[in-house]
Chains A and B, each alone.
Chain A
Amino acid sequence: MWLPLLGLILGVSLGLLSDIQIPQLYSNYLSIAVLAALDTLFGGIRAYLQQIYDDKVFISGFFFNIALAAGLAFLGVHLGVDLYLAAVFAFGVRLFQNIAVIRRILLTKWSDRGKVSEKKFQE
């Protein structure tokens, strides 16, 4: 159960302590990767709340999205097209949508629970 949390802590400390320097040019890819990771994470949470969650989809999506976003940005830099903007836009929109869906599901759940407890109280 605590394994994922351990992984998170390990990852954060690894990221903070590692001495790797990346050139200014590639900082775009990094931000895209962050966005992709966030998007997939919230997508996973949404899927779990909608009971359509699947391990394979989540994990493959997580890594694939990061790679795709970075690859797209890379391609954009080499083609002279700001493709990373497309990625930022797509992931940003989806991020907001996912969070909105999560919020709505949580709200319905919360109000349902309130009704249930009310019913119980009435009974």
Chain B
Amino acid sequence: MASKAVITGAADTAVGKLEGSTSLGLQAEAAAAAVADAGLSLGDIDGVLCGYSFTEPHLMLSSVVSEFLGIMPSYSIAVQAGGATACAQVMQAAALVEAGICRHVLAVCGDNRLTGMSRDKAVAALSEVGHAQFERPYGISVPSAYALVAQRYMYDYGVTLEHLAGVAVAHRKHAMRNPKAQMRQPITLEDVAKSKPISTPLRLLDCCLISDGGAAVVVSAADAAKDTRKRGIDILGTGQMNTHEHIVASPSLTDFGCKQSSAQAFGRAGVKPADIDVAEIYDSFTITLLAELESIGFFARGEAGPAILSGALDLDGRLPCNTHGGLLSYAHSGAAGGMFHVVEAVRQLRGEADGRQVADPELAFVHGDGGILSAHCSLVLGRN
């Protein structure tokens, strides 16, 4: 299938603890790097899609970023779908270039969530996504909401604490090969089991990081992609599904919209899960990835845990996944967290992933989920 939308540039900033960084600065740095990666100049950008920021929130973040960059895009909006934001930006950018509305769309995210706010403030700010009347009075947090999923998922499908810990260890193994990753010291299953309890069954090492960092991609119309520098990455299929926002209103605690969003993306691309060479899938918690791998169909129910313990997500495994180290070990800085997955997929498909390169991948799958497995967006990307 001929793709009409192509990722032509991809970049991220340094990640981790970046003293003195700002949300706007990280977004600008990532934007400039992605545009340079494409061999374009900022003046070529006619569409801007931003995410959101905790440290510099603004009603019109997309205008703020464009103003800061000194560009005047003919199309500009901010996208807010939690962890699904980055994939939703790419899906929206693809639609814009396919519709002929834009030629080169910049999708950019960045936040200094680690140095720009205290850990307590970040946790408290995130807990505000809970339902004001029917969740927050009970002391809910984002980890607790995912813990409710984990507990039920373990009960229904025989997932064990060791299976969850295996997800954390697999991510750290990837991060150890990535010189940019925030967390690179090796961890064992026992380290996960002994880490601080957060909300049972989740422990500290089951939870994503809090980081500073920014990331961006440029999505170009197929004809406009000819003006760019590197091999383009085709956006072959996109999909979304939104089933609820609050976990108290979720239709299920074990079956999520990633099933439909990925089916849409696979269907539009004309491929199936078994065709995917490398996957970059949202891993806010160990249970997030495990539930998504099984809901999407990469593994049968109850099979991902044992497979991961036997190396299924490793570079030479059945499904190399989150090769940069993911939100668990690479970095998580708000909307940019999901964009790191997109950038890594592009690098893998271009053969730019250095010491963590999957052998000759042709097809990548990227997935983001926002809220409590509430908003889902999936992408199938292919080497041009």
- Tell me, yes or no, whether A binds B: no
Q: Which residues of A contact B (CB under 8 A)?
A: none
